[in-house]
Amino acid sequence: MAALRSARRPLAILTLAALAAAPLARAQDAGATPAAPAPEGTEKVNTEKVDFEKQIRPLLRDHCVKCHGADKQKGDLRLDLRRFVFQGEGEDPIVPGKPDESVLIELIELPADDPDVMPAEGEKLSAAQIALLRQWISEGAEWPEASDKALEEREARRKLRENIELPALDEAGTQREAKAFEALRALGGLVQRVAANTLAVDVNLSLLGTRADDAALAALDGLEPTLVWLNLARTKVSDEGLARLAKFPHLRRLNLANTSIGDAGLAHLSGLAQLEYLNLYGTQVGDTGLSHLATLPRLEKLYLWQTAVTEAGAKALGEKLVGTRIDLGREAEAMLEAVAKAKAKAEAEAQKAAANEPMNSTCPVSGKGVDKSVFSEFEGKRVAFCCVNCKAKFDADPAAFREKLGAKK
Q: Please tell me the predicted confidence (pLDDT) of residue 91.
A: 79
Q: Please tell me the predicted confidence (pLDDT) of residue 286.
A: 96
- CB 257, CB 282: distance < 8 Å: yes
Q: What is the DSSP letter of 125?
A: P
- Rounded CA gap, 201 and 170, in Å? 16
Cis peptide before 39 (omega within 30 of 0): no
- In the chain, what are the domains? 2-56+73-148 (no CATH), 171-334 (3.80.10.10), 356-409 (no CATH)
CB atoms within 10 A of CB 409: 5
Q: What is the DSSP letter of 29?
A: H
Q: Please tell me the predicted confidence (pLDDT) of residue 44.
A: 46
Q: Please tell me the predicted confidence (pLDDT) of residue 348.
A: 81
Q: β-strand 277-279 against 253-255: which pairing, if any?
A: parallel
Residue 408's alpha-carbon distances to 27, 166, 367, 381, in angstroms, are: 70, 85, 19, 13
Q: Which residues make Cβ contacts (< 8 Å) with residue 348, sequence separation at least 6?
A: none
> Could you report the average pLDDT of every consecutive run of 10 residues in the chain (409 residues)?
31 39 43 41 62 89 86 84 82 90 92 87 88 93 82 66 78 96 96 88 95 96 96 97 95 96 96 94 95 92 94 92 85 65 79 83 92 90 93 92 73
Q: Residue 316, SS3? A: helix
- Rounded CA gap, 374 and 389, in Å? 10
Residues linked to residue 148 through DSSP beta bridges, in sequence order: none
Q: Please tell me the predicted confidence (pLDDT) of residue 1.
A: 26
Q: Please tell me the predicted confidence (pLDDT) of residue 157.
A: 62
H or E segment and range at residue 202: strand 201-204
Question: pTM for the full model?
Answer: 0.50
- Rounded CA gap, 247 and 244, in Å? 6
Nearest residue to 272 via CA among 249, 255, 243 = 249
Using CB atoms within 10 Å of the CB of residue 269, give its burial: 0 to 12 exposed, 13 to 18 middle, 19+ buried.
Answer: buried
